[in-house]
Amino acid sequence: MSIATRIKPMELRLSEKLLGMHWPLVALIVVIGLVGYIVLYSAGGGSHEPWAARHGLRLAFGTLLMLGIALIDVRLLFRHAYTIYGICLSLLIAVEIMGSLSKGAQRWIDLGFFQLQPSELMKIALALALARYFHPSYLDEVKSPSHLLPAILLAAVPAALVLKQPDLGTAVMLLAVAVAMLFLAGVRLWKFALAIAAVGGALPIIWSQLHDYQRERVLTFMEPERDPLGAGYHIIQSKIALGSGGL
């Protein structure tokens, strides 16, 4: 039998895609969501309102959306990776122009029936774009700084837009996605060490540019005892839970 006849056809039927899905992972995600539903039901005093019902709807919609996206041919996502990235980047720019304000942050686009947060979509779009960029790259090319510059810009531009909203946590997440993709592409560890050293040297400047609430979050994370009944409460309880478990 030749190799050509042993290779499974690339085009799969819907039933084959469903059978090939990682159902234990899907089940785990649904179970975690159901645990959250039970907790919210209990917190609402044994009532579906005000939190449990909305959580249940979002869980159902999110699960269906997840399954739908999982059925999309990965080659289609690969082919349109830059287009998806461009759309998400345009949405981030639109946030600056027409985004709705909430608690001093401008992160959402009001679509009437729900609030769209483009920075969440950009996490996926950035991974797709970087995967597309590095796909044809040889290891020798990855070693070249000039070859890495476009990839760094792909991550830096949306991270800067998200940081301006301001949303430090999501900006850091975007940079983390970029770091992971660069590592998988074959970037040498000493380059990461050099970048970490550069960030460390710039920490005083970065710290001076942070908003007061961002500095407070960092300080509370490092020393939750500063506000044991407020911002540091959950961190302290987590440490107690870990200690009770013997860790």
**Whether 81 contacts 129, CB under 8 Å:** yes
CA dihedral 166, 169, 174, 177 (to 10 degrees): 180
Tell me what pLDDT residue 60 has: 93
35-46 pLDDT tens trace: 999 988 888 888
Question: pTM of the full predicted structure?
Answer: 0.76
pLDDT in tens, 198-245: 888 888 888 887 888 888 888 888 888 888 878 788 888 888 878 876
Q: What is the DSSP string of 110-164?
A: E-SSSEE-HHHHHHHHHHHHHHHHHTT--HHHHT-HHHHHHHHHHHHHHHHHHHT
Please give the pLDDT value at position 246: 67
pLDDT of amino acid 3: 39
pLDDT for the residue numbered 16:
80
Enumerate the domain spans of the chain. Answer: 1-71, 73-191
